[in-house]
Amino acid sequence: MKQIKIRLQNPKRLVCGVAADLASKFGWSCFLTRVVWAGVTVFMPGMSLLIYFVLALLADQWKRSV
């Protein structure tokens, strides 16, 4: 369990870094953002997948505007 917590707190990319980018954009905790994202994925997989891809497409625009 400790290794999972360390892995989720690491701001480096797990898949494509959407949760980490979202956390850094709004100043949220990377760990809590990833935990909430995992919970949403379990309860609403279709909607979370759609939101994930939309945010992945917007991630480049966020980096350019900052």
Percent composition of the chain: helix, strand, coil (DSSP 3-state, to 5): 80, 0, 20
37 exposed, middle or buried (CB, 10 Å; 0-12, 13-18, 19+)? buried
Output the pLDDT for position 9. Answer: 75
Digit-coded pLDDT (tens) for 6-63: 777 776 666 657 777 778 778 888 888 888 888 888 999 898 888 878 877 876 676 6
What residues does each domain of the chain span? Answer: 29-65
What pTM value is reported for the model? 0.62
